[in-house]
Amino acid sequence: MKATYHKYMLEFKRPSGTSRGVMTEKETWFIVLEENGKKGIGECGILRGLSADDRSDYEEKLNWACQNIQLGEKALWEALIEFPSIQFGIEMAFLSLKSENPYLLFPSDFTNNSKSIDINGLVWMGEASFMKEQIEEKLATGFNCIKLKIGAIDFQKELELLAFIRSHFSAKQIEIRVDANGAFSLNEALDKLTQLNKFQLHSIEQPIKKGNIQAMADLCETTPFPIALDEELIGVFSFEEKKELLQKIKPQYIILKPSFIGGFRGTKEWITLAEQYNIGWWITSALESNIGLNAIAQWTFLQNSKMPQGLGTGALYTNNFDCPLEVSQGQLWYNTSKKWDSSFL
């Protein structure tokens, strides 16, 4: 077996804002396996400034993984515990190599185009007029769950945007999730949650910065509406550490990004614990290309979650790969009449 890796820069169609800043491009890496005339591909979806494995030795570790590919998927996964995006890329590449079709990893009613996945529509931060434009576009195209990035523009303007949505659509018609990406300070968080509560929101992701365990636990206990942990899960590697975090904070939900938490195996550990502690969960992309998004979507369908997932990110880039994934009426479909752009294979 031979393994190689390749860097690829994804270019955003328009600058995309979060409370951590504005993104115009996104780096990703692909691992390609070759054996007996077959090829498999996996994506290492790192997000600089956020991923636990955003380290100076990242490429060195990728190279090591390719040089030691003969160790096999399980041994490599265990050796790469501090490099969750590479764990995921390796896991995906081995699945791809073993499959008859390198992009069909988990055959199901989703991949035969008979069933779809509910997803939320993502609204990026920006000027209030730009956010309003995005909201109207999402509502017009059939989404009944939208997720707004908040925390970067004036909070009063964000409240006005939420008031705009609720003046036209009730909580039964449109589910609203908000994501603060840790933007609220510890002393203002509860007050802001109280102000947000009047808009009948489904949940808020990561209201305060990760690492404030006791403050987050207190918030989860006193919050007027549900809190979902996101960044808080990054860099929590062992099963025991995961268990301890959930026991301490007791969140209402957790958000699972396979590229950030050790691929499918790491994600399954979080799901097992969440269900043990009666914590809700859903799965989202970490802005991977369509190659990684495809693998995550196929696996997510098999988890039988009834909640909208965060998997509508395939159209963000100008240079993504053509694939069967298609968003229609707030659903992600696998359109079998569409072909893959196999540039890397």
Neighbours of 22 (CB within 10 A): 14
Say how far apart CA 12 and CA 281 lie, in whole Å.
28
User: Is residue 248 annotated as part of the catalytic site, yes or no?
Assistant: no
- Tell me how far CA of residue 135 lies from CA of 56, 64, 96, 113, 254, in angstroms: 38, 44, 36, 28, 24
Active site residue: 26, 138, 147, 149, which one?
149
Say how far apart CA 237 and CA 52 lie, in whole Å.
10
Q: Which residues on adjacent β-strands are paired with residue 334?
A: 325
Say how far apart CA 33 and CA 226 lie, in whole Å.
42
Strand segments, DSSP code E, in the chain are 2-18, 21-35, 38-44, 117-118, 121-123, 145-149, 175-179, 203-205, 227-229, 253-256, 280-283, 325-328, 331-334
Say how far apart CA 14 and CA 262 lie, in whole Å.
29
Say how far apart CA 253 and CA 227 lie, in whole Å.
6
Active site residue: 257, 306, 338, 339, which one?
257
User: Is residue 149 annotated as part of the catalytic site, yes or no?
Assistant: yes
Catalytic center residues:
149, 257
